[in-house]
Amino acid sequence: MKFPAEPFRIKVVEPLKKTTVEEREKLIKESGYNIFLLPAESIFIDLLTDSGTSAMSDNQWAGLMKGDESYAGSKNYYHFEQTVRSIFGFEHVIPTHQGRVAENLLFSTVLKEGDVVPNNIHFDTTRANVEYHKARAIDCVIDEGLKVDSELPFKGDIDVFKLKKAIQNYGPDRIPMIMITITNNSGGGQPVSLANIREVSAIAHEHGIPLIFDACRFAENCFFIKEREEGYQNKSIAEIAREMFSYGDGCTMSAKKDGLVNIGGFLSLNDGRLAQKITNMLILIEGFPTYGGLAGRDLEAIARGLKEVLNEEYLEFRINQTRNLGEMLMQNNIPIVKPVGGHAIYIDAKGFLPHIPQKEFPGQALVVELYRHAGIRAVEIGSLMFAHRDAETGQMVYPELELVRLAIPRRVYTNAHMQYVSEALSEIYANRKSIYGFEIEYEAEFLRHFTARLKPVNV
């Protein structure tokens, strides 16, 4: 069936508030035309992120009641540890309260000034954590992975030629790890093939470099492998995951994605000495090793979520819900990044609003209009997030892509909500010539998109 029905029924509901266009116009103006500054209660469909926004199952909620809040040796930790080991296969399991803390613990222990970390594309927090430790984060994704229209099945793959060149240029001694992000979040949620993972693993290990997965959306990546890579159609998601992780030496994980929980993460490693060092650091900044900044009940919810996310009916629904939204949009001529990735749709704002120049933030203009017109919150991934002044020339440098991301929370919205989003975008597309650009009124020095205030141009 092309449009699979939700493989769950709804047992608890959270009413959504409907607001009028006039109310939203006032709210978005008061928020400096920045959707990060909006009260979430004023949003009808919130597609800001798929991180920490999942709906937990009845089984996970029941698990919360089984929370063992002992400071040390909580039974939930053992369940969590055993579950992570059985799926990921790495020996040591270190809980953290978010994925970025796992990154920070790993990098602060391993990286030295001048080191280099290759990845397909580093996620923002990963890049920031690498750079904070005075190392260089380099992206080695295949060229097609950066093209809006390339329809390759595994656009998240690492270009092994670029990787080998990096190893040659910097030398393996300056590369303490190679990373692979599955799925490739910053590249549109595109999957990485097992063939590529196998090849990268061989190159890494030939040079004595460990391979670490950024595993946030590992189950979604496994589903794409099952669907698209020859020889995996009859394997279970758990089997594919086991093979995938067998090529690596560890992983960082934000359980807020494929852990199907609202908070949590972990780091898992085979290297016992490294794990010991990191555990000592964990005690300093997160907590005792059997809770790592989380409550026992949170660890229980993660353990249960990690088992549920392997369920194929769930994954089929999840991936197809996103894909079907993409297909509805394409049928209505909305320009989007193809093929549709696992967790989000990316609208090409330059194609949608060709009359707005990049310096007037076409992506942000579309984000504002989506909220104003329909109460939908999306996020700009374009000039507001990435444009910067070149330190040497003083010229503004604009990103190649000007995107608007619609991230789909897991198990939260029905297909009827997706239909609503599609219709809203079609209405906006029909009236797109009336949409105007923006200029910045206030910006912070770093990560300006979170707090910037804007105002309409020529109004």
Binding site for ligand PLP (CB under 6 A): 51, 98-100, 123, 125-126, 181, 185, 214, 216, 254, 256-257, 265
The token duo for 243 is 């093979």
Which pairing describes strands 388-389 and 379-381: parallel, antiparallel, or unpaired? unpaired
Spatial separation of the C-alpha atoms in residues 47 and 49, rounded to whole Å: 6
Closer to ligand PLP by Cβ: residue 34 or 126: 126
Q: Do residues 407 and 216 make contact, with C-beta atoms less than 8 angstroms apart?
A: no
CA–CA gap between residue 34 and residue 82 (Å, rounded): 43
Helix (H, G, I), strand (E, B) or coil at 349: helix
Residue 131 is encoded by which pair of tokens?
């750079």
Q: How many residues does the chain have?
A: 459
**Cα 285–Cα 287–Cα 291 angle in degrees, nearest 5:** 140
The answer to whether the peptide bond before residue 181 is cis (omega within 30 degrees of 0) is no
DSSP 18-30: P--HHHHHHHHHH
Sign of CA dihedral 241, 242, 246, 249: positive
Residue with tokens 């490693």: 269
Report the C-alpha gap between 403 and 186 in whole angstroms.
11
Token readout for 416 is: 């009827």
Q: What is the DSSP letter of 213?
A: E
Question: In this structure, are residues 408 and 47 in contact, taking their beta carbons and an 8 Å threshold?
Answer: yes
345-375 per-residue burial string, b: 16 or more CB within 10 A, e: under 16? bbbbbbebbeebebebbbbbbbbbbbbbbbb
Instruction: Say which amino acid occupies 22.
Output: E
* Helical H segments across 148-188, by residue range: 160-170
Q: Which is nearer to ligand PLP, 35 or 216 (CB)?
A: 216
Handedness of CA 221, 224, 230, 235 (dihedral sign): positive
Q: How many Cβ atoms are within 10 Å of 383's Cβ, its own excluded?
A: 25
| 335: Cα separation from own chain's centroid | 21
Block residue for tokens 């992506």: 363
Asked whether the CA dihedral 289, 293, 297, 300 is positive or negative, the reply is negative
DSSP letter, residue 184:
B
Does residue 87 contact residue 306 with C-beta atoms inside 8 Å? Answer: yes
The pair of structure tokens assigned to 260 is 């199907």
Consecutive H or E run containing 105: helix 99-110
The closest residue (CB) to ligand PLP is: 99
